[in-house]
Amino acid sequence: MKKVRITVKKIAIYEDLMAEYENLIEHACSMELGQTFICNGWEKPAGFCDSAWETVSPFVMTLAHGGENFYDGWMKNPKSAMISCNDGFRPVSFLIETMDEDSD
């Protein structure tokens, strides 16, 4: 099984939507721009958001098992995917990519 790297590429915050619809949450997200996580197959990396994992884990599992080319050429690198978590107030975009055999 291949190792898969998840990198936080973008964090958006929609304060207008939060003010209108969200009940105050003190600590909603702990992701940081540039933060990376290494996955060993299906295992969720320590410190990774449970909700975000539900969204990205099918892509991680597919890449870990050698799958690639999601949606027939969507990504320039067929061994990757750009997936956002399902938080409509503060979505985080993750680059998910298969690691080379020589990578740490």
pLDDT tens per residue, range 50-95: 999 999 999 999 999 999 999 999 999 999 999 999 999 999 999 9
Residue 17: domain span: 3-98
Percent of the chain with pLDDT over 70: 96
pLDDT reading at 101 higher than 80? no
Lowest mean pLDDT among 27-31, 32-36, 69-73, 99-103: 99-103
- The residues facing 7 across adjacent strands are 36, 95
Q: Is residue 68 part of a domain?
A: yes
Domain count, the chain: 1
Q: Is residue 37 part of a domain?
A: yes
pLDDT reading at 17 higher than 70? yes
Task: Give the three-class secondary structure for 7.
Answer: strand
Say what the pLDDT of residue 89 is. 94
Q: Is residue 104 part of a domain?
A: no
What token pair was written down for 1?
A: 């099984």
Residue type at 53 in one-letter notation: W
pLDDT reading at 9 higher than 90? yes
Q: What CA–CA distance (Å, rounded) separates 4 from 97? A: 6
Q: Is residue 103 part of a domain?
A: no
